[in-house]
Amino acid sequence: MAQPAAAKRGIPPKDDFNAWYPFMVEAAELVDKRYPVKGMDVWRPYGWKAMRLIDGLTHAEMERTGHQEVNFPLLIPEQLLEKENRLVARLQRAREEGVDPSELRMDEEATGFAREVFWVRHAGETELDVPMFLRPTSETAMYSMFPLWIRSHADLPLKTYQMVNTFRYETKQTRSFIRVREIHFFEAHTCHVDEADATRQIEEDLEIAARLMHDLCLPTLVARRPLWDTFPGAHYTVGIDVVMPDGRTLQVASVHHYRDQWARAFDVRYEDAQGEQQYCHQTTYGMSERLLGAVVGVHGDDRGLILPPAIAPHQAVIVPVLAKEGADDVLAACRELQAQLRDAGLRVHLDDRDLRPGQKYYDWEIRGVPLRLELGPRDLASGECVLAPRTGGKDSVPLAGATEAVKEALEAVAAELRKRTEKANNTCIHVLPPLTRSATGRLSLAEPVEPGRIYEIPFDGSDAEAAMVEELTGHSFLGDAREPFAKARKCAVSGKSTNRRVWLARSY
Amino acid sequence: MAQPAAAKRGIPPKDDFNAWYPFMVEAAELVDKRYPVKGMDVWRPYGWKAMRLIDGLTHAEMERTGHQEVNFPLLIPEQLLEKENRLVARLQRAREEGVDPSELRMDEEATGFAREVFWVRHAGETELDVPMFLRPTSETAMYSMFPLWIRSHADLPLKTYQMVNTFRYETKQTRSFIRVREIHFFEAHTCHVDEADATRQIEEDLEIAARLMHDLCLPTLVARRPLWDTFPGAHYTVGIDVVMPDGRTLQVASVHHYRDQWARAFDVRYEDAQGEQQYCHQTTYGMSERLLGAVVGVHGDDRGLILPPAIAPHQAVIVPVLAKEGADDVLAACRELQAQLRDAGLRVHLDDRDLRPGQKYYDWEIRGVPLRLELGPRDLASGECVLAPRTGGKDSVPLAGATEAVKEALEAVAAELRKRTEKANNTCIHVLPPLTRSATGRLSLAEPVEPGRIYEIPFDGSDAEAAMVEELTGHSFLGDAREPFAKARKCAVSGKSTNRRVWLARSY
């Protein structure tokens, strides 16, 4: 049997995802990993453009929903971290003692909540009076300013966001976009008059996420995280995960309802209509360059990336097919076609390099350009050009109506990506049969668990039972699906009746 | 005499620029200086939007001139700084010994060139193997990657840029936008086949700067810096300065021709058409949030900011003038007007807050909105609205043709700002009479120097003579004007004939 074309070109097969992914992020010139600091890649123009297009979608959503963009300093003084430490310690104690955290006082000592942050303690030859750290996220920085901006209920809701670089000292293996030490990050932070209004914000955030994921052609799992996997200081966390080709889930967004817990720690208050001081209820919504990692991982194939048209730096590339005769006419027609498509607002590149068409096809396939247009002397003679979608197929269309045809073809590529990924997601999720329990109360699996699968179970057990399930399956609790079972089922562990639909997965 | 309205509102008069400027950046809600780290302000939505609009102009220029956007890591390992240190040491030695730097070897020891950088030496509880610093600028980070991207002359010119946060440990007094420790920064870095092509890049950069400054309505002084004020490793530096109201110059952009000096230090080479390895010639072009500082400082008046329409977050604000009767009709007409203007691509805000019109006028005057539209029941009855440009005057225009009238009024505001600032610049530049020299050779001034002035002199003296002039005047050499005197004049110090037009100024 002949060797597949991709293998000839040195591309690992996508089935070997752990080889394919790191190969592809460099082969498609998204990033360069040769920068001499571990976990800090250089964004190359093509990758950065794709990321900025994703950011553009996010900006548009923020504008639509009345969020305002701010930009906070990168460096956070140590004392603000201590404030956060006290908050977390207080909440841990409340959880252990089973009391409402608002009943506890705020003057506990910090418990040395070890954060994976980079520290700045020196500048030039000077040791700084106050050590500072590079933001891993901006709660502490922002919530020390919000009290200065909020006076009364008329200032609420306060809806802000920023797109910034954040830093985590990852000790695990790093992976481009997925686990890096400098993170291109989006974070929205909001303040509200009460819990109900903050809850409405959570719903709006999930709607924003759904719209973005639609543009990225990514199906998601939206789950309320178990308590032990809730963000520090949060009342609850909703995680949004994408299933990667190896069956592991990648959290690409998370939304946190803080109630008034951070507000109490940072004194974020307002005067209500009756003149009384009240604590704000707060939410945050975070996303990152992982969105691009998910796009790369989910949509690519053995030949390279496939970029959703909404974020492709080149939505279409025009490749002239030149013969000895009429080359000038073909090139002129290609330029005219490019101008026509650009006037319609499309991002179109004309590849007029002095290379054979086959080499160009290969280059743009690797880079995942959703649509290739070919134009040669025969096409020109018949007043047509060839459309070759990256998802397969080929078609000739009249040059005169090319703009509409290109727009339709791009829509079709997006629809095809959504169809493929929905299907992959559905085949990935399996029902875990009820666990069996021995006379001594020991749980065991009814059938072996496969690492590349996500399992769905009805569950209403205790934290201890959840921990047992995690140990038996090697999978973690992703959390409660946003949509519980319509009809009650028997809990896979206790047998009790429940509507809770819980997912188990291996995660990145 | 009645107290001026502005003083009643607590705004310092603009003549007291050292009080006016810091007051205004907060009163207009550009930044909040209460963040607990010196020299690191929080960008508020209005200020960040204005900055992002300036960035948008820069992005458009980069796109027009074929630059590609990249994004490099913030953290730079110490060993790259040592490489730069050796370069600088080598160039200093070359300068002292009066030899061509390319004749010197590159293996000198670093001379501990003290940089004002923030250091990261710890992460979590760990001391890092390799200390890193926060980029003050990205030559070292980028030039360690360029050799991996450039193989042959076909890869040149390489034209890249990025917009990032940079850091300098400023020990002098900080000032919003002008002297800060975290800097919102633009840097373009290019590589060329030879010195002539790099020189062409410098010309392109100056043209880009001129176009941006036109949009910002800022006249500039473009000067080739004296050798002692040239960026380390540069063959020459061209600085672009704006004259602030106190007569001090603010460098808002700089362009550096590196020849092949950095390329030799970082081994940035290419294979030429003959198959020979050659060093690249390089340039950089830097700008920062100082652009916004210049806009604030130059255009503002006793009542607040005046933003050039090209970068105003709201180009126009509509203020309904409501009476008891017909309030709904007026509001509906205001909404319609806003929709009409927005459809034409204008950034228009409708201020429908429950406040008196006078309070709203005051708010938007402080924030420098270039155009105010007033619409009351009488205007509506006559089918008109009132245009009140921030630069003065008032006019009624038909609602039907409002879009054109608004566009023209915005053009007129920009033209008026350019006229005012050109005039201010011209009255600021004075000719310094020739210095007198005593029998013992001691130089002295023919007349006293005023601190708020910029002086122009014909000059062809030595560095030592320049230093004497600086000591006598208390002004620094801004450098040689891009346009020398058309006719030769007598050097103000030596009396020798020269065309060199040199500026002396006090700088920020």
A124 contacts B120? CB cut-off 8 A: no
CA-nearest residue of chain B to A114?
B124
Residue B116 phi/psi, 5-degree rounding, is -85, 70
CA-nearest residue of chain A to B353?
A154
Number of structural domains (chain A) is 3
Distance in angstroms (rounded) separating the CA atoms of residues B124 and B127: 8
Check pLDDT > 70 for residue A464. Answer: yes
Distance in angstroms (rounded) separating the CA atoms of residues B92 and B108: 12
**Which of A275, A298, A321 lies at the terminal end of a domain, its last residue?**
A298
Q: Count residue pairs from A and B with Cβ separation < 8 A.
A: 138
Chain A residues with CB-CB distance to B167 below 8 A: 74
Mean residue pLDDT across chain A: 92
Residue B236 phi/psi, 5-degree rounding, is -155, 160
Chain A residues with CB-CB distance to B74 below 8 A: 74, 165, 167, 182
Q: Whose structure tokens read 């005219």?
A: A336
Same domain flag for B101 and B222: yes
| pLDDT (average), residues B88-111 | 59
Residue A20 lies in a domain: no
Out of A41-50, A332-341, B324-333, B404-413, pick the least confident.
B324-333
Distance from CA of B329 to the nearest CA of A (A): 25
Same domain flag for A71 and A195: yes
| pLDDT (average), residues A417-446 | 90
Q: What is the CA radius of gyration of chain B?
A: 26
Q: Which residue has the higher pLDDT, A494 or B277?
A: B277
Residue A285 lies in a domain: yes
Distance from CA of A43 to the nearest CA of B (A): 5
The backbone region for B474, taken as left when phi is positive above 0, alpha when psi lies in -120 to 50, beta otherwise, is left
Distance from CA of A41 to the nearest CA of B (A): 7
Residue A185 lies in a domain: yes
C-beta of residue A147 within 8 angstroms of C-beta of residue A267 = yes
CA-nearest residue of chain B to A128?
B118
CB burial of B448-466 (b: ≥16 within 10 Å; e: otherwise) equals: eeeeebbbbbbbbbeeebb
| pLDDT (average), residues B287-295 | 98
Enter the tokens of residue A17.
Answer: 């995802």
Residue A421 lies in a domain: no
Q: Please name the amino acid found at residue A50.
A: A
A134 contacts B116? CB cut-off 8 A: no
How confident is the model over B17-50, as pLDDT tens digits? 999 999 999 999 999 999 999 999 999 999 999 9
Distance in angstroms (rounded) separating the CA atoms of residues A491 and A465: 11
Mean residue pLDDT across chain B: 92
Same domain flag for A293 and A322: no
Same domain flag for B109 and B235: yes
| Nearest neighbour of B118 by CB, restricted to A120, A165, A184 | A120
Distance in angstroms (rounded) separating the CA atoms of residues B317 and B46: 14
**Which of A298, A322, A341 lies at the terminal end of a domain, its last residue?**
A298
pLDDT reported for residue A80: 87
In terms of C-beta density within 10 A (0-12 exposed, 13-18 middle, 19 or more buried), how is residue A198 classed? buried
A165 contacts B132? CB cut-off 8 A: no
| Nearest neighbour of B32 by CB, restricted to A74, A132, A145 | A145
Residue B14 lies in a domain: no
Q: Which residue has the higher pLDDT, A172 or B109?
A: A172
Distance in angstroms (rounded) separating the CA atoms of residues B351 and B363: 10
Same domain flag for B104 and B217: yes
CA distances from B365 to A70, B49, B272, B312 (A): 22, 17, 58, 12
Out of A419-433, B47-61, B186-200, B205-219, pick the least confident.
A419-433
CA-nearest residue of chain B to A115?
B124
Distance in angstroms (rounded) separating the CA atoms of residues A148 and A155: 11
**pLDDT confidence bin for A275, thresholds 50/70/90:** very high
Chain B residues with CB-CB distance to A169 below 8 A: 123-124, 126
CATH of residue A315's domain is: 3.40.50.800
Check pLDDT > 80 for residue B91. Answer: no
pLDDT reported for residue A1: 42
| CB atoms near residue A319 (< 10 Å) | 26
pLDDT reported for residue A111: 37
**Dihedral angle at the C-alpha atoms of B421, B425, B428, B433, nearest 10 degrees?**
-160
| Nearest neighbour of A145 by CB, restricted to B34, B79, B115 | B34
Q: How many CA atoms lie within 13 A of A49 on its CB side?
A: 22
Check pLDDT > 90 for residue A108. Answer: no
Same domain flag for A203 and A259: yes
pLDDT reported for residue A103: 55
A125 contacts B114? CB cut-off 8 A: yes
Distance from CA of A145 to the nearest CA of B (A): 7
Check pLDDT > 80 for residue A32. Answer: yes
Distance from CA of A214 to the nearest CA of B (A): 27
Q: Please name the amino acid found at residue A45.
A: P
**Residue A470 is part of which domain span?**
429-505
Q: Which residue has the higher pLDDT, A43 or B426?
A: A43
Distance from CA of B39 to the nearest CA of A (A): 10
Check pLDDT > 60 for residue A178. Answer: yes
Same domain flag for B188 and B122: yes
C-beta of residue A290 within 8 angstroms of C-beta of residue A280 = no
Chain A residues with CB-CB distance to B141 below 8 A: 35
Q: Please name the amino acid found at residue B94.
A: A
CATH of residue B171's domain is: 3.30.930.10
Check pLDDT > 60 for residue A200. Answer: yes
A40 contacts B73? CB cut-off 8 A: yes
Same domain flag for A94 and A201: yes
| Nearest neighbour of A48 by CB, restricted to B70, B80, B182 | B70
Out of A7-11, A351-355, A456-460, A477-481, pick the least confident.
A7-11
| Nearest neighbour of A124 by CB, restricted to B48, B117, B120 | B117
Residue B460 phi/psi, 5-degree rounding, is -140, 25
Residue A111 lies in a domain: yes
Check pLDDT > 90 for residue A127. Answer: yes
Check pLDDT > 50 for residue A479. Answer: yes
**Which of B417, B439, B472 lies at the terminal end of a domain, its last residue?**
B417
Distance in angstroms (rounded) separating the CA atoms of residues A173 and B35: 35
Residue B26 lies in a domain: no
| pLDDT (average), residues B146-156 | 97
Same domain flag for B192 and B260: yes
Enter the tokens of residue B12.
Answer: 């310092």
**CB neighbours of B330 closer than 8 A, spacing ≥ 6?**
B320, B321, B322, B375, B376, B377, B380
A37 contacts B48? CB cut-off 8 A: no
Same domain flag for A192 and A268: yes
Pairing of strands B126-134, B158-167: unpaired
CATH of residue A455's domain is: 3.30.110.30
Residue A353 phi/psi, 5-degree rounding, is -65, 155
CA-nearest residue of chain A to B113?
A124
Disruptive mutation site among A32, A35, A115 for chain B (greatest number of B CBs within 10 Å): A35
Check pLDDT > 80 for residue A98. Answer: no
Distance from CA of A435 to the nearest CA of B (A): 41
**pLDDT confidence bin for B112, thresholds 50/70/90:** very low
Mean pLDDT is highest, among A69-73, B446-450, B480-484, for: A69-73
Chain A residues with CB-CB distance to B149 below 8 A: 32
Same domain flag for B107 and B170: yes
Distance in angstroms (rounded) separating the CA atoms of residues A117 and A170: 9
Same domain flag for A258 and A335: no
Check pLDDT > 90 for residue B318. Answer: yes
Q: What is the pTM of this model?
A: 0.94
Residue A304 lies in a domain: no
CA distances from A244 to A463, A508, B209, B220, B325 (A): 27, 9, 46, 54, 62
A117 contacts B125? CB cut-off 8 A: no
How confident is the model over B454-500, as pLDDT tens digits? 999 999 988 889 999 999 999 999 999 999 999 999 999 989 999 99
